Structure 1
Amino acid sequence: MPAQEIPVANPGALPSHLPDEVLQLAAKFEKKPLPQNVQTSLRSFQRAACYIAAAMIFLRDNVLLDRPLEPSHIKPRLLGHWGTCPGLVLIHSHLNLLLRNHSSSDLELLQVIGPGHGAPGALAALWLEGSLSRFYPDEYPVSANGLFNLVTRFSVPGGFPSHINAETPGAIHEGGELGYALAVAYGAVMDRPELVVACVVGDGEAETGPTATAWHANKYIDPRESGAVIPILHVNGFKISERTVFGCMDDKELLALFSGYGYQVAIVDHGDDWEAVNEELAATMEWALGEVREIQGRARRGEAVVKPRWPMVVLRTPKGWGGPKELDGKKIEGSFHSHQVPLPKAGGDETQLRVLGEWLGSYKIGELIQDGKPVQAILDNLPQDDGKKLGQLKATYDAHIPLKQVGWEEFAVEKGTEQSCMKVAGKLLDSMFQANPKTLRLFSPDELESNKLDAILDHTQRNFQWDEYSRNNGGRVIETLSEHDCQGFMQGYTLTGRTALFPSYESFLGIVHTMMVQYSKFIKIANEVPWRGELASINYIETSTWARQEHNGFSHQNPSFIGAVLNLKADMARVYLPPDANCFLSALHHCLLSKSHTNLLIGSKQPTPVYLSPADAGVHCAAGASIFPFASCSGEPDVVIVGLGVETTLETVHAAALLRRLCPSLHVRLVNVVDLMILPVESRHPHALSEERFEQLFTRDRPVLFNYHGYATELQGLLFGRGRMERFTVRGYKEEGSTTTPFDMMLVNGVSRFDVVRWAVEAFGGWGRGRRRDPDDIYEMPKFE
């Protein structure tokens, strides 16, 4: 079927009901009736997909209604969200039409779905277009058996879950991540000039803080170097049991709000008239794509583009459109009662079973699915190239571009000097950005200079398109005072094949705790899906730690993000605490090149001693932990002190020196741990040390003090299961602090060099009473004030 002519961006009629003062804010374009064959194809696709979505929620048999419904045909446990499905089906059908109409262009169209619990609608559409068959040829082919499996296995063990996840073709966003879809969409188009992302934002989701900040992400998109996002705010008026804020806003308010955000807004609202909505939405999507191409074309021709007004769509449809109108005197369609399962007792209530039969029967599925396959009318508006279909775009499942390597050793510093971990990291990253100008980005709150990573800016700049000094210059750094946006950008950028970093003050990474967990779960599932390719790791850098918050005080002291990462699955979690600048370089380089992990690096922005040469630092980091010979006795120690973190390691080094001077007969071993994940027993993490290697470092029976940067309970949990745990003492941050000196922070939290010395002497005294000692080995107890 040839592409249809739908005029774009021409002056025309505007909605007559809008107040005069906002007419100039509305999108202007001419709308013409859709050809009947296009309208028929759209409605056929929509009816079939809505039927399949509803059947997935309710049916375990009789999936094509070829006989009257009976209670035995209903699933015993009804799961799924119907309310958003009709709107998602509507949008999916129009995106495929857009792809079909532009099949000869280089358009790559990706859909990000914010209302993730609308999985039935998305999966139904993906089955109809053949994408499920592409990736699951045995389970979900385009056949009667494939449809039976899709419907009956939904939300049961072995089938698709009730929300979109990594098993869903075309998905780069976890359905449980409410509020993050828009930021993910914007991250995906960065450095992908051919990509357009249609991002569906539910009106409930739009109430969240992450979405509120993500509307401003349009200000970070350079139309010359990046693709574009077309936000589609899906307004159906209700959340689980309450109206939505956006559902209660009229057209004037929506136009004013989103125009103020910098968008050109088109509102599609024709109530429950499917044909009228199809006609206007088809024209609107053509208009939106035309506006995108116009903005990009000007920028790529070298014209100055200042504050482009990117298009967005507000789509109003009834909640649960096409479902039951009413039940037991309660309104269902167009109310919150349709949000999840509109007929929750269909398996045991005769009235609800009858209503379900009437509802499903209204779609006339027998006209649409014949011999287990969609009829030709459904297929007519689909792209003919499978790689263009929404579920099969390569950028969503196999797009990883490895970074060009830069050796970290050339940025290393001399052993015995002092240097900031962040200063040397900035120089390495500066070189990495030069080597990878289109596949590496840094997303950060307004902290780059404060965290002393400013060397990154030696050969690149910040990227902010609404500022005359930073627009259109290819900057690799995006700074925005929204941790949610930084996280969302990183997710979208990584999931479409690139590599990103997120440095932050230590105390504020907790803001994205749940986002990090949801993303890591998405990657866990992705790693188990055979058709998904590898991805770069996501990389966090914590600096401005509790130990060095000289001017910010107690409020800026919070190492809890470590625990959030530690709680991930073992094959995901990586936490590194390099003790000096050279070790930080080695660990950072490793993280940038690693795959599918959640990496957390913690370092100091202030100068600290450099203990190891570049060669020794590389060996130390590869091992994860080792003995510092310059601070340790030879042979078997009496006590073992362990540093984990820059400042806490510094305190153990000074403690070892004090003990040599005050108690020369006390044999001390100092161990430094870079990789926290070496500490659990072997069965709990792939990095864990063998019991033999663990005893080589920490001995079999000597007292051990872990002087730890984070909360003591985290480390105690990691060590659980190691032999003779009664000999382990763990000290760490214990919520004590103020605007004070760095060393006082060590004192008030009990991790200072003097605390370590006291522990060593007391531990040796208790242990040493049962030990046979050389009579000439004189032990002198130091005096403590």
Structure 2
Amino acid sequence: MTLSLPATDRAGAATVFPDWEQTAAQAAARVPTEAVGACWRALNYLSAAQLYLADNPRLARPLRREDVKETPRGHWGVCPPVNWMLANLGPLAACRPPGAELVVLHGAGHAGPSALAHAYLTGALDQAVGTPGWSMPALRALTAGFPHPERFGGEITPLIPGIRHTGGQLGPALAVAQGMVLDAPHRLVVPLIGDGELETGAMAAAWLARRALARGDHGAVLPVVLANGLRMGGPSLLAGMSGEDVRGYFTGLGYEPLIHDGTDLAGFRRLLAAAFARLRPLGEPGRQPVIVLTMPKGHTGPNEVAGRRIAGTPAVHKTPLKDPRRSDAEFTALAQWLASYRPAELFTAQGRPSDLIRQALPSPRQQAPAAAKPAPAMGGQPWHRVSAVIRERAAAGEFRLFSPDEIASNRLNLADDGALPPWAVEILNEEICHAWLQGYTETGRDALLATYEAFAPINTSLLAQHLKHRRLAYRTGTGGLPSINYLITSLGWRNTYTHQNPGLASAMLELEDSFVHVYTPADAPRAAAVLAAMLTGRDRVNFLITDKHPGPAFPPGPFRDELTDGAAIWPQLTDRGRPDLVLASAGDIPARELTAAAQTLRTTRPDVTFRYVHINDLAVLGPAPQWPYGLREQTFARLFGTATPVLLAVPTYPAAVRALLAARGQADRFTVVGYRDPGRPTTPAGLLEHCRLSAPALSAQATHMLKEHGR
């Protein structure tokens, strides 16, 4: 959630780390504490009202049962501490230095009511609810329509104005924040981290991960831990630690913990000012501040009802009162709860926030358009061209390469002296690399993650969640972001048994997501050209699968069609006329083996006509409308025929490719050969034999298919 007008990441960006200490001093002088408190009450009231009210959104008259929703839905518990932070950060965003930007990143996806309430108060929700400005119809639409299943949903997504990160990815919020401020000295990101999230591997690694980032022109990250004591179903591990232990924990991580329970608003504003005074650019040595807010989960809600304890129990997580429309005790509790915020003081009869509240609010967010970059040129020897593409893109600026300690292993030569350039970062954690990549691209800059094929599947869940985020953002008209780019090499075909798992590509294809492209070029020159296109693209999630070891280079003539259509016929291996068998490859190792098999078949079966097709993007095998970039039926028939048997060799698990073909109704005539787990260690040659992907095995399979079809 952006709490200010953002500075562009390009022209006009600040070149000096902003004076956030001065910002805090100005905010304290300009905005009275009473305004911040009123804003917090308004956010809490709107959060609770969205869960429960079908009408009477301002409580202009005493609550009636018909004002209450039949079935309350949503999450309450996380809202009060999130609202506390939003209310306290608003004045700081409003008083930010010229050109600076303050972004709030929601780690927990359940704070949807908070984000919607904040968007209403700031005016960012105006057009989204279809009414001009603040109004009573707009306020009623906000509360009665929650969880807005056809518009916003009830959780944190980019459908809510100002959201830059979909909460609920479970763990990467801190690392995403780090990625957002890399090379952006004007930006401060405040990730709101649930104490349950602290128990995830990605979050645990992110505290240490900042040490992997070199000093440079970076912004700052101010982590805020919402230590509210509870996970969804019970006490968090952090809740079992004493204050001394919590302080020792964060001190040991290299941070300066600033702990507050939220009972003293003026005191918390002083603590927040102290945190701003201690901010350092990411990568700077020394302790960074971290705020630990120990406000109880569900604070300001009901403590107990009819002898049932609510506060301090998992009951506060969702709707603390389950059926207030029918339960007398719960109805009374709800009326008292909502009235405790004194909403008539907070909103005018026209649905406008009071003058006092508006003093504490930032400006609504506006998105700066991203500028396109020219495609880099290529040069050098085959695999070196891949490195050259990366280096040339980095030279154009606003680019980062992230890798889990595998740049050298993946044979990427990024500097003439062999050193690691400042724009490349290594850390032995796939999830952190993805989160950095996600944060960097989400703020309009290009990036690449280079990793081993076997370990890339660790990020499957993060990618699936981020694809949901991008789909929703695209629906709001805020697309045009740089693509998510993965360079997947050190392939299992040449690696040990434990390093064989091409599962990420399969998982991404199974999502049937139109953003996904799985590139399988036939050689290193083609891989370099594909990578250059990836690094200048927008609104895609690209996976380039390519072998880092030397291999054959194939005639470049058909490559233009491979790049534009996703697949092309190779004339040098194709006979005239209608073929008896189509041979198709995807990926460099399958192309190496299948072209060798084709040469053998042309010698041993001169009476048979063949067509050879290479597939540069597996995603084009899928049909419309699920795959809008898929091959048109006419093109698919031109490449693969309509009744001809096809032998298809792929570098992935074959099942996902079969599913794409089955969706076209074409699976019966395709024999797809790909990776099969050997169940034991074996040599690269042995693995190809086991998977029936060696040239002799493919030749034998082709001969068998010809016999089956009477040839």
Q: Per the shorter chain, which TM-score range? A: over 0.9
Q: Residue type of the partner of 2:646? A: V
1:121 aligns with 2:114: yes
Q: What residue in structure 1 maps to residue 188 of structure 2?
A: 196
Identity percentage of aligned residues: 32
Unaligned stretches of 5+ residues in structure 1: 1-29, 300-304, 414-418, 463-473, 770-785
1:452 to 411, 418, 426: 411
How far off is 1:588 after superposition? 1.0
CA–CA separation in structure 1 for the residues paired with 2:143 and 2:151? 9
Match of 1:620, SS? helix
How far off is 1:721 after superposition? 4.4
CA–CA separation in structure 2 for the residues paired with 1:376 and 1:225? 39
2:485 to 539, 547, 552: 539
1:759 aligns with 2:701: yes
1:479 aligns with 2:426: yes
How far off is 1:575 after superposition? 0.9
1:728 to 658, 670, 679: 670
Q: How does 1:246-325 map to 2 (within 5 A)?
A: 246-269=238-261, 273=263, 276=264, 278-292=265-279, 295-296=280-281, 307-325=285-303
* 1:444–1:502 contact (8 Å) kept in structure 2: yes
CA–CA separation in structure 1 for the residues paired with 2:369 and 2:179? 14
Match of 1:122, SS? helix
Task: Give the 3 Å change call, closer, same or farther, for CA 721–38 of structure 1 in structure 2.
Answer: closer
1:375 aligns with 2:321: no
1:107 to 96, 100, 120: 100
CA–CA separation in structure 2 for the residues paired with 1:169 and 1:715? 38
* 1:114–1:202 contact (8 Å) kept in structure 2: yes
The superposition leaves residues 33-58 of structure 1 with CA deviations (integer Å, 9 ceiling, x where unpaired) of: x8897221121111111111000011
Match of 2:583, SS? strand
Q: What residue in structure 1 maps to residue 332 of structure 2?
A: 354
1:426 aligns with 2:420: no
1:211 aligns with 2:184: no
Match of 1:636, SS? coil
Q: What residue in structure 1 maps to residue 600 of structure 2?
A: 658
Match of 2:415, SS? helix
Q: Residue type of the partner of 2:188? A: V
How far off is 1:140 after superposition? 7.3
Q: What residue in structure 2 maps to residue 25 of structure 1?
A: none
* 1:236–1:334 contact (8 Å) kept in structure 2: no
Q: How does 1:28-107 map to 2 (within 5 A)?
A: 38-100=32-94, 102-107=95-100
**Of 330-339 and 227-236, the range deviating more from structure 2:** 330-339
Q: Residue type of the partner of 2:708? A: G
CA–CA separation in structure 1 for the residues paired with 2:542 and 2:491? 17
Q: Residue type of the partner of 1:517? A: A
* 1:677–1:688 contact (8 Å) kept in structure 2: yes
**Of 625-634 and 196-205, the range deviating more from structure 2:** 625-634
CA–CA separation in structure 2 for the residues paired with 1:139 and 1:729? 57
How far off is 1:269 after superposition? 2.6
How far off is 1:502 after superposition? 0.8
Match of 1:608, SS? coil
How far off is 1:737 after superposition? 5.8
Q: What residue in structure 1 maps to residue 540 of structure 2?
A: 597
The superposition leaves residues 348-407 of structure 1 with CA deviations (integer Å, 9 ceiling, x where unpaired) of: 212111110110011110111112111111112234xx2xxxx51x4xx43524334312
1:512 aligns with 2:459: yes
How far off is 1:253 after superposition? 1.4
CA–CA separation in structure 2 for the residues paired with 1:36 and 1:98? 10
What is the TM-score when the length of structure 1 is the normalising length? 0.84
Q: Residue type of the partner of 2:321? A: L
Q: What residue in structure 2 maps to residue 687 of structure 1?
A: 629
Match of 1:253, SS? helix
Task: Give the 3 Å change call, closer, same or farther, for CA 460–546 of structure 1 in structure 2.
Answer: closer
Q: Residue type of the partner of 2:415? A: L
1:574 aligns with 2:568: no
Q: Residue type of the partner of 2:39? A: F
Q: What residue in structure 1 maps to residue 436 of structure 2?
A: 489
Match of 2:110, SS? helix
Unaligned stretches of 5+ residues in structure 2: 1-23
* 2:521–2:588 contact (8 Å) kept in structure 1: yes
Q: What residue in structure 1 maps to residue 554 of structure 2?
A: 611
* 2:324–2:334 contact (8 Å) kept in structure 1: yes
How far off is 1:458 after superposition? 3.3
How far off is 1:631 after superposition? 2.4
Match of 1:670, SS? strand
Q: What residue in structure 2 maps to residue 229 of structure 1?
A: 221
* 1:737–1:745 contact (8 Å) kept in structure 2: no
How far off is 1:139 after superposition? 4.3
CA–CA separation in structure 2 for the residues paired with 1:757 and 1:721? 28
* 2:375–2:533 contact (8 Å) kept in structure 1: no
Match of 1:131, SS? coil
* 2:31–2:91 contact (8 Å) kept in structure 1: no
Task: Give the 3 Å change call, closer, same or farther, for CA 252–721 of structure 1 in structure 2.
Answer: closer
CA–CA separation in structure 2 for the residues paired with 1:482 and 1:535? 25
Q: Residue type of the partner of 1:565? A: M
1:527 aligns with 2:474: yes
Q: What residue in structure 1 maps to residue 584 of structure 2?
A: 642
CA–CA separation in structure 2 for the residues paired with 1:524 and 1:697? 31
1:327 aligns with 2:313: no
CA–CA separation in structure 1 for the residues paired with 2:428 and 2:132? 44
Q: What residue in structure 2 maps to residue 22 of structure 1?
A: none
1:626 aligns with 2:568: yes
Q: Residue type of the partner of 1:733? A: Y
CA–CA separation in structure 2 for the residues paired with 1:548 and 1:140? 62
CA–CA separation in structure 1 for the residues paired with 2:327 and 2:151? 26
The superposition leaves residues 602-659 of structure 1 with CA deviations (integer Å, 9 ceiling, x where unpaired) of: 000110100023x643343223111222223232221111111111111111101111
**Of 678-687 and 45-54, the range deviating more from structure 2:** 678-687
Q: Residue type of the partner of 1:110? A: V
1:402 to 369, 372, 393: 372
Match of 1:367, SS? helix
CA–CA separation in structure 1 for the residues paired with 2:252 and 2:70? 49
The superposition leaves residues 6-48 of structure 1 with CA deviations (integer Å, 9 ceiling, x where unpaired) of: xxxxxxxxxxxxxxxxxxxxxxxx99xx889722112111111
* 1:535–1:596 contact (8 Å) kept in structure 2: yes
2:692 to 750, 763, 776: 750
The superposition leaves residues 182-216 of structure 1 with CA deviations (integer Å, 9 ceiling, x where unpaired) of: 11111100111011111111111111111111112
Q: Residue type of the partner of 1:626? A: A
CA–CA separation in structure 1 for the residues paired with 2:702 and 2:183? 55
Q: Residue type of the partner of 2:376? A: V
How far off is 1:170 after superposition? 2.1
Match of 1:69, SS? coil
Match of 1:684, SS? coil
CA–CA separation in structure 1 for the residues paired with 2:705 and 2:512? 35
CA–CA separation in structure 1 for the residues paired with 2:519 and 2:237? 43
CA–CA separation in structure 2 for the residues paired with 1:726 and 1:321? 60
Please identify the structure whose Cα radius of gyration is greater. Answer: 1
Count residues with an aligned counterpart: 686
